Structure 1
Amino acid sequence: MTSVSINKIQINTQLPQECTVYDAMDYILEHHASNEQVIASISVNGKELDAHEENQCLTMNLYSFSSIDFNLKSSIEMAYMSLDSCVGYIDNVIDKIHETLGLYNENKVNEANALFSDVIEVMDLFIQLMSRIHKTIRRYHPQFFQENRTLQQLEIHLLSVMKALVPAKEKNDIIMLSDLLEYELIDNLTQWKIKAIPELKKTQEV
């Protein structure tokens, strides 16, 4: 008999024999989770699955495992978890920017342009991620954002830098592009790392 648990606490279920892991997730979200909770991870037979393994197991029969645990977390918990990974994310982006600048300085324009496209793509994802984190934390701690404008100022500056990068790239203005990357974007990302993210984490103490 398969042991089904939520956050490592076993639950009694009467799910049909043909039930898949995906069906079990639907059942748990409907009957055991609040509106604010999501399934953050799945552990099968004591091992937490990575994203690829999770996708593979979704259509498998629930009862093909000896044990399965669904880890539920609230949206605010997920936001703080995402914050913890943001510093490493920023460091990786800054490394890519330095590599791009190095290629431009060596006049390896085609290689630099290809890497620049990667930087823009990663930055778009970063903006989306921080927007979701900001929105979630703001919902729980509105007073904090009334008194603190750091995040808003950095968001406005970041969007203006991203907007300026596009015409510089289209005009093939390498000097302007390099200046924006080196003196504006790297500085903005550094401010996220040393000011905005630590301040967002402080809301956990509120």
Structure 2
Amino acid sequence: MRLLTQLPRKLSNKVFTKPKAKLLLILLLISSIGFSQENRDTLTVAKKKRYTYTKFEFAVPIRVNQYAGEIDEYGEDEPWFLPDGVIGRFGMGIQINKFIWVGGNIGVDWKAKECLVVAPLFGTIKINSKVSKDFRMYVEPGFGRAMAIGRNDLSGYFKKISLGFEDANGGLGIYLEVCQYGFSKNSEKRIGSFCIGLAYTMN
């Protein structure tokens, strides 16, 4: 009986004292550490990967100067275009994939010529296309509702389309935009604007 209890211990001592057995144990230990490290790295990347974006926009509407080409009182030529207010907007959305983003936006648009402050609330679909490793071009149509602040009788649809370039990984961009508000202050003609702006996107 004593011989039977000592036999497995003697066999195990003979097996695990061999150099090959020690090498096998070391390899198993290293592989288990590597596997656990890989799992942690994969989880970290998955946590960092985000499918939402936030953006801030600042733009200046531009209008044609009716006195373009004439000489002003200081003896200088009148410019062809003049600034016509300030636009500030904020938006958030979801990246459906790397080409299509969908978002909601709010803003405050000041139209200097019409003496109006407009608050648009609208949705957008942003279609992206990479033009290089560092930059992408996009087209962004939008549609929603706009209301003149302080003028409850002035409200209507809001529609716009933007064309811009921005950093491929999110960041600063520049865009051109044409928009229209579905109302007017002094005539039947709908108020619209053409503007140049800067956008900052975080994704």
Fold match (TM-score > 0.5)? no
TM-score, normalised to structure 2, is 0.18
Larger radius of gyration: 2
Q: Could you say which structure has the higher strand fraction? A: 2
TM-score, normalised to structure 1, is 0.18
